Structure 1
Amino acid sequence: MSETILPELPQELWRAGKLELAHGVQQFLQVIRVATAGLGQYLAEIESRGAKDLYGYGSTAKWFADVAGLSFGEARPVVNRAIALNPTRGLDGTELPAVAPATAAAAAEGAVGDERIQQILDFLASLPLDTSAEDREHAEKTLAELARHAGPRQLAEAEQNLLGWLDPDGAEPKEPEPKQPRRELTLERRKDGFWKLNGLLDDEAGARTAAALEAYAAPRPVDEFGQADLRTKPERLGDAWVDLVDLAIACPDQPGTSGYRTLVHVTIGLDELKSGLGTACVDYVGTMTAREARMAACDCLMLPVVLNAAGEPLDVGRLRRFVTPGQRRALNIRDGGCAFPGCHRPPKNCHAHHIHHWADGGPTDLRNLTLLCGFHHRLIHHGDWQVRMAADGLPEFIPPQYLDPLRQTRRNTLHRAA
């Protein structure tokens, strides 16, 4: 990235001539564009390492939105452009090349801004899937060079010419939609460990499902510290689905669960579980990291399974409920819902979290327990936030240093009267 010196403002700007004004605008514009390109390199590196492992956030865009004071809708295109313009790394360490390297070079020189960059990226995304790598590279280089001097209309005309050359037949006509059945549901586990849920519902079932999801998918209100809910609508609906499943599992009459939230079969040694290194099996249908198992074990039935070096079971422990129904009722009364500052979630949508984790010797008593919703429970386990019990017997939270350099303690005041 070329070095750009920040121009100095005249002491009396109103005395500047028209050429000096124009030159100042051009200089500052170049500084902004070069700085944006440099910011993109940092964001691409955070994306490569994983925002969840670094800061406890589900995505780089969510983390950047909090740091920059932006909405998720404002932060997401900035991060997407950064990933497209810079090489990143996959989960296995494999380097992933930039989508538009020639455009990235022009951006690093301050020759093109976000609008033209996004225009080029949108064009590349619209190309047919069978476009060869050579044709795609040629089109991107042509547009990147043209964008240095051309406006949006001239660039759009060049894109139409390129598209006519690369895809003369246009898009294939879509087949008519098949007749929608009354009710269908499929659930399958993908190779990457995620589960794919698909379904079709008749009007009545769809309306009931939508009403139930919408009731739990409302955005979290902005708290007293200005933190807003940055989840997208699909993410909020996904969390609402999990809340509904948790409520169904917690029902005492639910077949197979008897009202217990989760049954975790731990197939690793206790030392591995304490260190957070290893894997655990959840109801024999998949694996999770030991780090995730530590979080699930806060409020569940835990069935320890001790294995020998060959993987054969040596001992299967008895079920033990870590949080009793009486303790849960006391937590509901004391915390009134999620104890994280600014969270409005009621007790029925919360987990009981061990402040000093049980795997590290923490006791299961009210002085070591607090209620947390699923989102903030994960943030405490995987992020830089900390929770402790204050002298008055109520939980208080310590924010990460990058949000509050003084790390002053915070509490949730939404669930109890002043």
Structure 2
Amino acid sequence: MSETLIPELPQELWRAGKLELAHGATHLVQVIRVASACLGMYLAEVETRGAEDLFGHGNAASWFAEIARISLGDARDTVNRALALNPAPVAGGETAVFAPATAAAAEDGAIGDQHIDLILDILRKIPAGEREGADKILAGLARHAGPRELAEAGANLLAHLDPDGNEPKDPEPAPPRREVFVERRGDGFWKLSGLLDPETGARTAAILDAHGARRPVDESGQADHRTMPQRYGDAWADVLDLATACPDQPGTAGYRTLVHVTVGLDALKTGLGTACLDFVGTITAREARLMACDCLMIPAVLSTAGEPLDVGRMRRFVTPGQRRALNIRDGGCAFPGCHRAPKHCHAHHIQHWADGGPTDLRNLVLLCSFHHRLIHHGDWQVRIAGDGIPEFLPPQYLDPLRHPRRNTLHHVT
């Protein structure tokens, strides 16, 4: 085994250049892997001699879980990995290593636990006579490849050795296992968790990647600083918008999400105060104003005395014909510099419907969720110009004269 020393960290790590940072991190990864291989030798030796005789434990995994203060399951995985990569007794009093090429790569610090577990899982499915060659192929590949490439190579090896695969036990495939849990927390937020089969999980990851890409910088000058979980959360909201806008959506007839909001009339007009969402949650009145633009929201507007003044005004919602006209006119989010397509946009009331604004094309503009919120909560303003095209007035801190701007990305002029 090659001797590897832990490098000294610079006294001021923030002064380190990118090469020094890269070399330090790479070297420490190798140190960790070599140390893991050394630990495996000790654990294999303890298991071979007998942990009960040495330390009074039934097996090496139980003893290791105690000294490392980890779960028995994690300790068992570590010991099983060690036994496969170190000499173990076989018939006739001799010793042998289950995966010697993989063990050599682990001792060099070239591969880690994830590589090792993948290789061992593949080798256990290969007949003993073919295992040595497969071990050399996979260990050699693992020195330079990632887990995905290694898994694909293993699948190809198994297919080559057994092209027909295992005989199916049941002609009827088992239904995929999918579980989704939606739980409302005490603070009003919702916790989403679940388990998806491989195909559905891959499709979910792909669509979140596509919809969760960073926003290009628009004319507001705001860069996208969202973390990946935040971008995935916004992507999930976009996917819900697309699903609920589908004409075949059960129970909604193509309208956006149906929710119930109870809000005071003054709060709805001013945007100050709170509203009750679906009788269980609380949102701000400003959020209620934003949702009311293009969401199938049934508002229960109350007077100052709590008397219901209005329950539902379905006529204010954009009709399918109006939506098609908006899609043609604006071509997508009308905010200057935004690339978002019509399917990702809300129909925003320029003069809010609560303030008497009509639901017609002269009072509507397409906005993506980000710019919809920016218009409601920021200093930008939107209006319809004399030629019927939306134009936006920037804040004075961006343009003291507030020259109107338009989005030129969706149409060739």
Matched, 1:173 2:67: no
Verify: 1:190 aligned to 2:170, yes or no: no
Residues of 2 paired with 1:402 and 1:171: CA distance?
58
Alignment gaps of 5+ in structure 1: 1-112, 117-168
Say whether residues 1:233 and 2:228 are aligned partners: yes
| SS of equivalent residue, structure 1 residue 330 | helix
Task: Write the distance in 2 (CA, Å) between the matches of 1:384 and 1:170.
Answer: 60
Letter of the 2:362 counterpart:
R
Q: Percent identity?
A: 76
* AA in 1 matched with 2:300: V
Unpaired segments of 5 or more residues in structure 2? 1-11, 16-65, 75-175
State how far apart, in whole Å, the 1-side matches of 2:212 and 2:278 are. Answer: 27
Check the 8 A contact 1:385/1:399 in 2, yes or no: yes
Deviation for aligned residue 1:380: 0.7
SS of the counterpart of 2:241?
Answer: helix
**Distance apart, 1:302 and its partner CA:** 4.0
Does the 8 Å CA contact 1:387/1:397 hold for their aligned counterparts? yes
Following superposition, the deviation at residue 265 of structure 1 comes to 2.8
Partner of 2:273: 278
Moved more, 202-211 or 252-261: 252-261
TM-score (norm 2): 0.55
Which stretch of the first structure deviates more once superposed, 229-238 or 287-296? 229-238
Distance between the aligned counterparts of 2:198 and 2:368, measured in 1? 32
> CA–CA distance in 1 between the matches of 2:352 and 2:362?
12
Task: Report matched runs for 1:26-175 at 5 Å.
Answer: 115=14, 172-173=69-70
Larger radius of gyration: 2
- 8 Å Cα contact 1:342/1:412 also seen in 2: yes
Task: Measure, in 2, the Cα distance between the counterparts of 1:275 and 1:218.
Answer: 34
Letter in 1 for 2:181: T
In structure 1, C-alpha distance between the alignment counterparts of 2:239 and 2:307, rounded to whole Å: 36
Does the CA contact (< 8 Å) of 1:280 and 1:293 recur in 2?
yes
Per the TM alignment, residue 291 of structure 1 is displaced from its structure 2 partner at its CA by 0.8
Give the aligned partner of residue 365 of structure 2.
370
CA distance in 1 between partners of 2:283 and 2:259 (Å) = 10
Instruction: Work out which structure has the larger RCO, using CA pairs closer than 8 Å and 6 or more positions apart in sequence.
Output: 1
Partner of 1:415: 410
Take 1:226 and 1:270, find their aligned partners in 2: how far apart are those partners?
Answer: 35
- Going from structure 1 to structure 2, the CA distance change for 1:226 and 1:291 (only over 3 Å counts) comes to closer
Q: Which moved more, 1:401-410 or 1:273-282?
A: 401-410
Pair 269,309 (structure 1): closer, same or farther in 2 beyond 3 Å:
closer
The size of the alignment, in residue pairs, is 253
Q: Is the 8 A contact 1:301 1:320 kept in 2?
A: no
Deviation at residue 280 of structure 1 after TM alignment: 2.6
Contact 2:264 2:275 in 1 (8 A): no
**SS across alignment from 1:402:** coil
TM-score normalised by length of structure 1:
0.54
Q: In the aligned structure 1, how far is the partner of 2:262 from the partner of 2:324?
A: 31
Q: Output the amino acid matched with 1:342.
A: G
Distance 1:186 1:345, change over 3 A: same
1:307–1:175 Cα change, 3 Å:
farther
d(CA) in 2 for partners of 1:227, 1:272: 29
> Given residue 271 of structure 2, which amino acid in structure 1 is its aligned partner?
G
Q: 1:204 to 1:364 in 2, by over 3 A?
A: same
RMSD over equivalenced CA pairs, Å:
3.2
1:123-144 Cα shifts (integer Å, max 9, x gaps): xxxxxxxxxxxxxxxxxxxxxx
